[in-house]
Chain A
């Protein structure tokens, strides 16, 4: 089955740029979605189809995907961005499963 690998944690100072990676075999050939989950809350879709933002998501959130790595970039990080972030792809090669990465805890210093 397809595996997505995320760093367990990323730390960044307020106002700086955070980059959260999601590694997978030839992930650039797949569409990657990103979710933000704050403690005690349901996940929220922040990026879909590699780099599109749903309505209501700030422009500070952007995404890219190439080769074996997809990246969620958060510019001008704010304290309110502190959360867990998950990448997701649809693995059509193995019985049509949706796969999530293990999640990355973003800490705003």
Chain B
């Protein structure tokens, strides 16, 4: 079964750090690009970051650039998101999502169940 399982969420104080993980199974992880997408409570979806299959290409949303770092370990079938200098507005459910290349763009065809990050004092 194709599956993504996030972990590492929790409560952190403003200015703190947290590292999220996403474990992939049921497919050849190293062949796919991956993404992080977040959803604040009661709000819509917000794309956070993208990493290509070989880690050669990385993109960030302006809202997290310079604070968040995406990485992956293809040998461990794992995706990561290092989040530093966290703010209250980073409070959200964070999803990892597999990217599929379609005519020069990417759709997100497999999503994890999400992990909640709460930034509060």
Residues of A within 8 A of B (CB): 1, 30-31, 33, 35, 37, 42-45, 48-49, 52, 54, 84, 86, 88-90, 95-103
Q: How far is the CB of A105 from chain B (nearest CB, A)?
A: 11
B102/A97 in contact, CB under 8 A: no
Among residues of B, the one whose C-beta sits closest to the C-beta of A52 is B102
- With A43-B95, A48-B100 known as contacts, the answer to whether A103 contacts B45 (CB < 8 A) is yes
A-B contacts, CB under 8 A, total: 69
**Which of A31, A44, A45 is the one whose CB lies under 8 Å from B103?**
A31
Chain A residues with CB below 8 A from B59, complex form: 95-97
Chain B residues with CB below 8 A from A98, complex form: 35, 47, 50, 106
Among residues of B, the one whose C-beta sits closest to the C-beta of A103 is B44
Given A97-B59, A102-B44, 13 additional A-B pairs, CB 8 A: A31-B105, A33-B108, A42-B114, A45-B109, A48-B100, A48-B107, A48-B109, A49-B107, A88-B47, A88-B108, A100-B44, A101-B44, A103-B45
Number of interface residues of B (CB under 8 A): 25
- With A95-B59, A100-B45, A103-B44 known as contacts, the answer to whether A90 contacts B109 (CB < 8 A) is no
Among residues of A, the one whose C-beta sits closest to the C-beta of B114 is A42
Question: Residue-by-residue, is B78-121 near A (CB-CB < 8 Å gives 1, otherwise 0)?
Answer: 00000000000000000101001011111111011110000000
Q: How far is the CB of B35 from chain A (nearest CB, A)?
A: 7
Q: How far is the CB of B14 from chain A (nearest CB, A)?
A: 26
A33/B113 in contact, CB under 8 A: no
**Which of B46, B105, B112 is the one whose CB lies under 8 Å from A89?**
B105
Chain B residues with CB below 8 A from A100, complex form: 44-47
The answer to whether the Cβ of B61 comes within 8 Å of any Cβ in the partner chain is yes
